[in-house]
Chain A
């Protein structure tokens, strides 16, 4: 496949294929204009509502496209556009559905909190800036070209920088945004540096083109291939907040508005993971071996697993002494980045190739439990005025049902039955054992046990400590988020086949991820 060096115009059929992304783009521009001309006295919640509507509309379009592509038996195939730099395939569509759902829940969270948060001055922006961030995440999930991928990443990152700084009257928010800009830029630099090496040795920015040239490149420039992939891994490691590249996440989450922190933990992380998976598989790296027969791919996969193991252990160990809930959830996000990296790093074998199902399942479970926990946090921190763990004291008396929902999220985060988190972790564990990576099994189980301590720290506060007896009222928007997430977590815990079958019905490894045509 020759590289298309010139720019290709976007044709009408292409636009139809990109309808979900375009809908969000149009919605974004419309909302910017609307926000400008809407009189001040009109509540910006309307803009939040419209943002929500366009996200759900985009999700519907993605869903329809995915269904249309999977009519009848056989391989769903791939629709590629713009010179095969953008792919509409089932992997991308599944990921997009997760991102859109996550972003929609974040908007709902914002609707429940922003109107009462005086530190947020631009309440309209707070909602519609999530749209370009979502477009970026979707572009990342669909890209088959390093440049497209980078543009998607930057679109998502740039808007996130602004979103983190949204609480303009709060010093921490500004500090967090600045730290995020600096670290984010460094990670972008790493990624670009790695990409440039890959381009240098393969002569292509297309993932498929890189794949074709990779055997030759490995033969002649093995060290450069390592540097290229290694640098990219480090850069993406920063974006998913996997240890040892996670230090930024604590300050950023703490300073950012809680819904934005939820967006960063779930959507931003998920999109980056999708990209890592695509790069490792679409370039055929997993099959690359050098002249001596040593697997270059194996080394890279091992590196991913190593980062995963470090992230799990560092995340859980550091969280043991953490008393600020946002920082605690940031560290929990570090550990979970580790769990999510495991199916990516396992590579595929003859007997075990459902890595993507494991990844998507755990990502969905992670989305529900984390956004649920953040939703409870918004309620609690508004009632007590801070984000410390002791703010949860006496939740049993103040809001018993919300405390019960939080128990579900915590059990799921700790990987205890009956919850989506339990099955998600179990699937990954079984996969790892099936691929004979026993050490990662041990690391996962060990870090899960350590994590009991701080997840149950919430339960200690909520059920065993007394506090104010005053009832906490829950805004309806947040109530919807909490109960949607709790119900989803329970359903995934009792009937996980629902999602597993859904994924398996549409996703095919060779058709969707590899470039087998």
Chain B
């Protein structure tokens, strides 16, 4: 036990950005320095807390002590219709962490703080910018901590609204159209998710409890209950009073399970994004302000993958395993399509956008492997890509600030005038293409290693994608840093301290994960091991 377990750490972590937001609202809007200072401090404090949680978690090997559960509201569904029992819908405020969410939580706090520093380029309406920015952070932290389906949904929608404002007001020329497309695509995604959640709550979210008011039948979005009910088809037998009825109240038919699984796959697939649903995300990469793209590419896309792992894969492993080949195919398409298209782009931001699609393909491949290494690889890839793409877009933002362009033909030879930033860009590019010693390598290696066990030929094809990655990354990075220098770029200044600091921090995390991947894999392993054991013990056996 540590002192952290006596206080509601997770709620405090969630409330820090909200607190920052409230303080921010009190500051007059022309006090730019004060506004920036408050925003940066409000994003730095969560890092401290999440780092503390991370180290503490490793010692305890589990996050059970941090769980926070409280009933938010209860709605009776029946009115003296059945006399013997009360049926209620229960909405819970329930937060928790495990090996799957903790690394992503750390990623969120770090990348958000670095993006807050990068946002010093924002000139107009700075107060409103940071207000939405902090709300976005609260939403993202909530998404990774929520252990109730509806709470998850609420946080998910908060990030949607906040990001809409950030893209639509502070983006580049096509910002409004981009914000709309972002809203509609993600709106459809979360709508499918909501349908799936409503169905889940009405079937597996059922439990019975002896309370002071007598026997109560409760429908809730409690993740733990749903997981338990779905994992053990005979869980209902132990319900009080169930033996008399003799029927399973969950009524999760095969068709229903498949429907929910497919809804979740498409819903989160739009966010991930999976191949045919990716167009909105290209626009966001190109049009959103750099600080928001850092968050979008670094964290928001990860929410899609996280949601699919937590709700699709962990709740419906049988369905996912049956569709493993389909998942692998989708992953392969993402990987190759993204890589080939990235090779053809002349706009650096689009190169990176397609590269994100390509790297998300590796996540899908890791999941499709359906073994511990693959799953671990997928999560490592998520975290690693989060840091790498945040770093890349941070550099892109600083480059654009100086040169006013991100077109590859218009850039070149920047290494001479900006040695530090060029070095950073090269390092990030190398991390992205999977150079050993940097984090990208670990994620790709583990994912493909896992996949090699189950689908050799797919793995062979995937290696092609890795080679392509090296080709397009080096083409664009070297094109920017070396080659002929343009006259107008000769006098450009290298990174200032406020720009250099976040770059160094992000690169430090990339190197750390690359050299000591066990920092991450140990944490992830805690949750992954349990999952696989449970999967093979209860499902395959009986």
Which one of B87, B158, B165, B201 lies within 8 Å of A463 (CB-CB)? B165
Q: Is A430 within 8 A of B198, CB to CB?
A: yes
Complex Cα distance A497/B176, Å? 37
Q: Is B157 within 8 A of A433, CB to CB?
A: no
Q: Is A429 within 8 A of B194, CB to CB?
A: yes
Complex Cα distance A138/B74, Å? 30
Which one of B78, B79, B158, B183 lies within 8 Å of A456 (CB-CB)? B183
Chain B positions within 8 Å of A351 at CB level: 77-78, 82, 87
Q: Is B75 within 8 A of A500, CB to CB?
A: yes
Complex Cα distance A350/B217, Å? 13
Q: Which residue of B lies closest to A504 (CB)?
A: B76
Q: Does B302 contact A (CB under 8 A)?
A: no
Chain B positions within 8 Å of A162 at CB level: none
| Given contact pairs A418-B154, A452-B184, A446 touches B191 in the complex (Cβ within 8 A) | yes
| Given contact pairs A417-B154, A430-B202, A453 touches B78 in the complex (Cβ within 8 A) | no
> Of residues 144 to 200 in B, which have CB atoms within 8 Å of A's CB atoms?
150, 153-154, 157-158, 160-161, 164-165, 168-169, 175-176, 179-180, 183-184, 187-188, 191-192, 194-195, 198-199
Q: Does A354 contact B (CB under 8 A)?
A: yes
Binary contact track A461-475/B, C-beta < 8 Å → 1, others 0? 001100000000000
Complex Cα distance A497/B192, Å? 26
Q: Is A433 within 8 A of B198, CB to CB?
A: yes
Q: Is A350 within 8 A of B75, CB to CB?
A: no
Q: Is A429 within 8 A of B76, CB to CB?
A: no
Chain B interface secondary structure, helix, strand, loop or mixed? Answer: helix
Q: Does B34 contact A (CB under 8 A)?
A: no
A82 → chain B, closest Cβ, in Å? 28
Chain A positions within 8 Å of B81 at CB level: 348, 350, 353, 509
> Of residues 411 to 429 in A, which have CB atoms within 8 Å of B's CB atoms?
411, 416-418, 422, 426-427, 429
Q: Is A431 within 8 A of B77, CB to CB?
A: yes
Interface contact tally, CB-CB below 8 A: 109
Complex Cα distance A329/B165, Å? 23
Chain B positions within 8 Å of A353 at CB level: 77-79, 81
> Of residues 452 to 501 in A, which have CB atoms within 8 Å of B's CB atoms?
452-453, 456, 459-460, 463-464, 495-497, 500
A357 → chain B, closest Cβ, in Å? 7
Chain B positions within 8 Å of A431 at CB level: 77
Q: Does A56 contact B (CB under 8 A)?
A: no
Complex Cα distance A495/B74, Å? 11
Q: Which residue of B lies closest to A425 (CB)?
A: B194
Q: Is B195 within 8 A of A442, CB to CB?
A: yes
B349 → chain A, closest Cβ, in Å? 21
Q: Is B168 within 8 A of A463, CB to CB?
A: yes
Q: Is B184 within 8 A of A508, CB to CB?
A: no
Q: Does B487 contact A (CB under 8 A)?
A: no
Q: Is B164 within 8 A of A456, CB to CB?
A: yes
Q: Does A386 contact B (CB under 8 A)?
A: no
Complex Cα distance A439/B435, Å? 50
Q: Which residue of A lies closest to B193 (CB)?
A: A445
| Given contact pairs A416-B161, A426-B150, A438-B199, A507 touches B79 in the complex (Cβ within 8 A) | yes
Q: Is A417 within 8 A of B202, CB to CB?
A: no
| Given contact pairs A417-B158, A452-B187, A464-B169, A354 touches B80 in the complex (Cβ within 8 A) | no
Chain A positions within 8 Å of B154 at CB level: 417-418, 422
State which size class the interface on A falls in. 35 or more
Binary contact track A283-312/B, C-beta < 8 Å → 1, others 0? 000000000000000000000000000000
| Given contact pairs A411-B161, A508-B79, A509-B80, A497 touches B87 in the complex (Cβ within 8 A) | no
Q: Does A336 contact B (CB under 8 A)?
A: no
Complex Cα distance A418/B156, Å? 12
> Of residues 334 to 371 in B, which have CB atoms within 8 Å of A's CB atoms?
none
Complex Cα distance A446/B192, Å? 9
Q: Which residue of B lies closest to A453 (CB)?
A: B184
Complex Cα distance A370/B376, Å? 49
Which of B72, B82, B158, B191 has the most chain A CB atoms closer than 10 A to its own CB? B191
Q: Which residue of A lies closest to B202 (CB)?
A: A433
| Given contact pairs A445-B191, A460-B168, A350 touches B82 in the complex (Cβ within 8 A) | yes
Q: Which residue of A lies closest to B203 (CB)?
A: A433
Chain B positions within 8 Å of A446 at CB level: 191
Chain B positions within 8 Å of A456 at CB level: 164, 180, 183
Which one of B78, B195, B219 lies within 8 Å of A441 (CB-CB)? B195
Q: Does B89 contact A (CB under 8 A)?
A: yes
Q: Is A427 within 8 A of B161, CB to CB?
A: no
Q: Which residue of A lies closest to B155 (CB)?
A: A417
Q: Does A352 contact B (CB under 8 A)?
A: yes
Q: Does B492 contact A (CB under 8 A)?
A: no
A508 → chain B, closest Cβ, in Å? 6
Which one of A434, A449, A495, A496 lies within 8 Å of B184 (CB-CB)? A449
Q: Does A160 contact B (CB under 8 A)?
A: no
Chain A positions within 8 Å of B187 at CB level: 449, 452
Q: Which residue of B lies closest to A426 (CB)?
A: B150
Complex Cα distance A324/B153, Å? 32
Q: Is A416 within 8 A of B157, CB to CB?
A: yes
Q: Is B165 within 8 A of A441, CB to CB?
A: no
Complex Cα distance A79/B153, Å? 44
Which of B175, B194, B202 has the most chain A CB atoms closer than 10 A to its own CB? B202
Q: Does A448 contact B (CB under 8 A)?
A: yes
Complex Cα distance A510/B194, Å? 32
Complex Cα distance A373/B178, Å? 26
Q: Which residue of A lies closest to B170 (CB)?
A: A464
Q: Is A434 within 8 A of B165, CB to CB?
A: no
| Given contact pairs A430-B89, A453-B184, A456-B164, A352 touches B78 in the complex (Cβ within 8 A) | yes
B153 → chain A, closest Cβ, in Å? 8
Complex Cα distance A453/B176, Å? 12
Chain A positions within 8 Å of B194 at CB level: 429, 445
> Of residues 180 to 232 in B, which have CB atoms within 8 Å of A's CB atoms?
180, 183-184, 187-188, 191-192, 194-195, 198-199, 201-202, 219
Q: Is A463 within 8 A of B183, CB to CB?
A: no
Q: Does B120 contact A (CB under 8 A)?
A: no
Q: Does B73 contact A (CB under 8 A)?
A: yes
B221 → chain A, closest Cβ, in Å? 10
Complex Cα distance A426/B197, Å? 11
Complex Cα distance A495/B158, Å? 17
Q: Which residue of B lies closest to A429 (CB)?
A: B198
Which one of B78, B161, B175, B202 lies within 8 Å of A354 (CB-CB)? B78
Chain B positions within 8 Å of A507 at CB level: 79
Q: Is A434 within 8 A of B77, CB to CB?
A: yes
Chain B positions within 8 Å of A460 at CB level: 168, 176, 179-180
Known pairs A430-B219, A464-B168 / 9 extra A-B pairs, C-beta < 8 Å: A351-B77, A352-B77, A416-B157, A418-B158, A448-B191, A449-B184, A449-B191, A452-B184, A497-B72
**Pairs A–B under 8 Å by Cβ, sample size 7:** A350-B81, A354-B76, A422-B154, A430-B77, A430-B198, A434-B77, A464-B176
Closest 10 pairs (CB-CB, A-B): A497-B73, A417-B154, A509-B79, A449-B187, A449-B191, A433-B202, A445-B191, A433-B198, A353-B81, A452-B187
